[in-house]
Every structure is written in C-alpha cells, then in structure tokens.
Amino acid sequence: MGRLAAGWCRCWELWLHPGELPAPCSLPAEPITCPGRCKVQGQDRGPGMAAGRQMERLLFLLAVLQLLAATTAVYKQWIPNTNFETASNWDKGRVPCARDVVHFEKDKVISVFVRSPHALTDMYLPLSGEFVLAAGAAFTAFDGSWDPGCDSGGTVRFADAEHHAWFDPTLWQDVLPSGELKAAGPVFSVDEERVPCRHDDVIFQPQSSFRVNTDSSQPVIHLRSISVMGQELNTPSSWAEYLGGPSAPLQFHGNGTLQVTGTGCPDKSGCACGNTLDGPRICAALLRASGMQCPEPACQNPLQPLGHCCGVCGATINLDFTPDFDLQKYQDRLVQELLSQPKYAGVQMAISKVHKAQPLLGALPRGAAPLIQIVLVDDRAGGQAGTAAEQLAADIMESIAQHGEALGISSGKMEVATGSTASGQVGSHPVSRITVGTVMGLLFSLLLLGGILFLYRKGKLRFPALALPQPWHRLEEPTVPAPDRDQGFDNPVFSVEPPDAHLGEEIPKDLQVFYLNPLYDASETET
C-alpha cells in the first residue's frame, strides 16, 4: 500500500462493521508500511500520495458496486444465538453469576461465544463443544467475596439449542448488507420466501455463536453466500474449507447440506425461491404455536397464494410475462405509483416468481409454468377486510390493460376475497393476441366435441369400434318375433319376389307366401 504516515489502523473484520470503534495502532513517528490485513485512516505523505489516491478511487468504486448489488440482493439474518451473555439461553432467564453452578448437558454439542470475563462457583462442560472467547473474556473461580448482583446461588442450565430449525420463518429477519434491520415497508414476503431462498445471502451475526438444524426435504440447500463471524464465504471452495474446520460441525447439524454457489438470480424476470419441497416444514414451524391452526379469516372463502401457509383476504394477480419483463423495475413502479398513495396506506404487497401447475382443458396436467404472483392484503377488519386491496388490484389491472405490453406483461388474472364477498375470479385482461387466440381455440374445440357427441346420441354418427348396444337403440328398434317354422334365412339387403304361380291358376287367398333369397337354390340342399 505504500509508505504511510502515522494514523489509525484496524483489522478488516472491524472495518466491515463501522459501528465498532477501531483500536489505535502503536506507530512510530517515521512513516511505516501498514500490515497486510489492516486499513490505515489518514493522509499519505511523500511518494505514497499517488498510490493512496488510487486506492481511494478503487474503494469508492467498490462501494458503488456494492450499493448497486444491494438493490437486487436479499440478505436474511439468523436471529437466535448461543452466546453466554444472552439471558434467554439459560433456564432461569438470567446470565449466571458468581455463586451459580453452570451446567451444560454432557451429550449436547454446542458452540458458545463469551464476550466478557465471568466468575463462577463451578461449571460442568459438555463432552463435545467449544468456547469462543472474545478479547478479555475469561472464566475464574469464585473466591467467596460479595457479589452485588448474585445474592443467592444455584444451578443454572444452558437451554437446548437443538430445536432451532433452518426452515422456521420466525427465526429469520431481513437485513441490509451491513447487518442492520431493514425498515418495514409496504412489501412483504410469502411464508416460503421468509426463509433464505436459493439466491439469497445469509448472515450469522458477527461476534456471536449459534447452532441450527438443517433437516430438509431436499438433499442440498443452495445459497449465494454465508457470513459467519464477520467473514463472508461466497465461493464453493471457501465454504468447503470452512466446513472442514472445527466449528462447522458444532454450528450446523441435520440431513440437509448447505451449498454456497456465489451466484445471484441471473434472470431479470426473477427466480423462484426453491423452498417448495420444504413448504410443509415451514408451515409446521410457523403454526406450531397456534396448534397447527390458521387464524380465522374475515372473508368467507379466503384466497390461498402459492408459498403461503394460510388463506388471506384481499386480492391476488397472476401475470404471464414476456422476456422483456423486469421484476425489480415493475415492483418499484407499483410502489412509487400506487402503493405510495394515501388511500393505500394500509395495503401490503408481495410479488415474486412462482411455478403453478397448468391444466389442459381443465383436467389433464400440463406441467408447472412460471408466472408472477402479486398478493395484496390490507389492515381493514370485518366486512371491510380486503376492500382496499381489491381496489388496488383493480388499478393494477387497469394499468396492465394500458401499459402491459410495454412492461413485458402478456396477460393478467385477478381474484379477490373480501369480508362482503366470496372469493372468485373478478377480471382477466389479456394483453397479447396470442392469449385471445388460445381462448377462442379452446372454445371452438369444446363446440366441436359437443356437436360430435350430439350427433352420436341421435344416431346420425356411428363409430365402428363402439359395438356396445345403447339404451336408446333398444327403444328405437323393437324386436321382431321369430317365425313358427324354419324357412331358411332372410337377407334384408336384397329385394325379394314371391314364387311364380302356374299360368292360368288363381292363387288362393289363404295361401301363405314366403320371401326367399333369389340367389339361394333349394334343390342343392335336398339330399
């Protein structure tokens, strides 16, 4: 980095978290070379001035690139920890004090971060685990002196951290790249997307320990990156190296394997989350506190958005899109032009790409097709529940009818459920001619099949392969009684003539006349 003047130096880990104060470096008065893992704050002098300016430009460019990436990247932070100083990690709801005996279950695997020094009467340690000590942290034996915060001692047990599951939406929170909580806004996520998706960045709080159960219905859980103890791991090789270290087995357990890819969503129309297979796990964890029962909705037939555990009152819009569609730009457009209006202050929106099974003619499955799902809910109650979301959905559909083609939207279908109406399809706005042609083709096919069935039932159309007698055939064709005696067989195909009478003889009126086949020679059969 060049020869730098005396100043302030701090390691890269602290530099990545500007909220922490840097430690002063003991530097001589003469210019020195800064250590490789430290950043010097100050002014360059002498020959190092040009190098310092180039470094400033480079850092500024990196900051701009990080801001641009932050607009599309999604960061989710794990909430629980196994820190020694966290009161909720102990069965008595407080941090152990000097007169206490600390007890860790011997068969529990655990990693515990310790921030400060502690005096204890005694401590029972697990057979497999670790303490991660911060600078200045230590354990000492209690010498019997008075402790103002610990009048009466006892046994304090460390709580079980095995039940903290990866697919529990309540254990994750949306954060900024710096780790700060993202401010609440009008945009929310369906339940499956509250857990890290395949292109998200995962952050475990720095200066903190944890243990998470990764049991999953999918063998591999893909992620863009994972940050542990302030270190970002965003390549498969760096993650594999970390998994081979001593701490990873104490932090992660379960049948699911975490895999870092280092790549974000490559499609501007968005990417599906990828948590569908673990949807039952997500819903079970979310509804465990309520006895696996969803809250009673205010509408009669609530909507069931894809990726959401419970029905909602409001509106859903499914969009078919073209390659020109940009999900992030369209979301920003909806927020700025519609959701920001005062009349929609209580409305929240979730928008993402999902895969929905598409039936053919309403019966035969045709596979899963990608579409953009918009979920709109509001804070109104009773008979007004969902009415503001319904109005917003109508405005969105009107905008699609006017500008959908320019935005890359080919068609949109809206469904609503409010406190005063049942759920159902309210409007559908096809934008492209292809959608209209498809609908007309399906209608023509249904009319054609109906006409064929009508002609078949009326007897105007016959299929040789269908030889089974039909009920209406038996009604229209009565059975002819058999003759008293056998006179051969009648051939209804040919015309028949009565037998010739002798010339000049009159045929008696009571003479019985038989119809015989003219091609049949009776003499040939008499033997």
Please give the full DSSP string across 190-221, using - where no structure is assigned.
-GGGSS--TT-EEEEPSS----EE---SSSEE
Q: What phi and psi, each to the nearest 5 degrees, are found at residue 115?
A: -90, -30
* Reported confidence tier of residue 15, pLDDT bands at 50, 70, 90: very low
Share of the chain above pLDDT 90, in %: 56
- Residue environment code for 354-366, b if the CB has 16+ CB neighbours within 10 A, otherwise e: bbeeeeeeeeeee
**Sign of dihedral through CA atoms 14, 18, 24, 30?**
positive
CA atoms within 13 A on the CB side of 203: 18
Confidence (pLDDT) at 395:
97
Closest CA to 78 of 182, 169, 192: 169
pLDDT at 65 over 50: no
Q: 83 and 110 in contact (C-beta within 8 Å)?
A: no
Distance CA 460, CA 474 (A): 16
State the pLDDT at residue 38.
30
The full DSSP string for 102-169 is EE--TT--EEEEE-S-EEESEEE--SSEEEEEPTT--EEE--S---TT-SS--EEEBPP-TT-BTT-G
Contact 488, 516 (CB under 8 A): yes
Tokens of 55: 């470094």
Q: Tell me how far the alpha carbon of residue 64 is from its chain's centroid.
A: 30
The mean pLDDT of the chain is: 77
Looking at residue 453, its pLDDT comes to: 78
pLDDT tens for each residue of 375-399: 999 999 988 999 999 999 999 999 9
Residue-by-residue DSSP string for 316-352: EEEEEE-TT--HHHHHHHHIIIIITSGGGTTEEEEEE
Q: Distance between alpha carbon 381 and the CA centroid of its chain, in Å?
A: 27
Confidence label for 450 from pLDDT (cuts 50, 70 and 90)? confident
CA 253, chain centre distance (Å): 23
pLDDT for 366: 55
- The fraction of the chain above a pLDDT of 70, given in percent, is 67
Going by C-beta distance under 8 Å and a sequence separation of 6 or more, which residues neighbour residue 59? none
Buried (b) or exposed (e) across 432-459, using 16+ Cβ within 10 A?
eeebeeeeeeeeeeeeeeeeeeeeeeee
Say which residues have a Cβ less than 8 Å from residue 45's Cβ, sequence separation at least 6: 3, 4, 5, 31
The sign one gets for the Cα dihedral 76, 81, 85, 88 is: positive
Top-confidence residue, 456 or 191: 191
439 has pLDDT over 80: no
pLDDT at 272: 96
Per-residue pLDDT reduced to its tens digit, 338-368: 999 999 999 999 999 999 876 654 444 456 7
* Contact assessment for residue 111 and residue 132, using Cβ atoms and an 8 Å cutoff: yes
Q: How far apart are CA 370 and CA 379, in angstroms?
A: 29
pTM: predicted TM-score of the whole model, two decimal places:
0.68
Return the minimum-mean-pLDDT range out of 174-183, 295-304, 351-360.
351-360
Integer Cα distance of 48 and 46 in angstroms: 6
Segment 415-420 mean pLDDT: 91
pLDDT value of residue 410: 95
The strand pair at 75-78 and 201-204 is best described as parallel
pLDDT of residue 452: 78
Check pLDDT > 50 for residue 28. no
Where is 457: in which H helix or E strand? helix 433-457
Residue 72 has a pLDDT of 64
Q: Are 226 and 204 in contact (CB under 8 A)?
A: yes
pLDDT range class, residue 153, cuts 50, 70, 90: confident
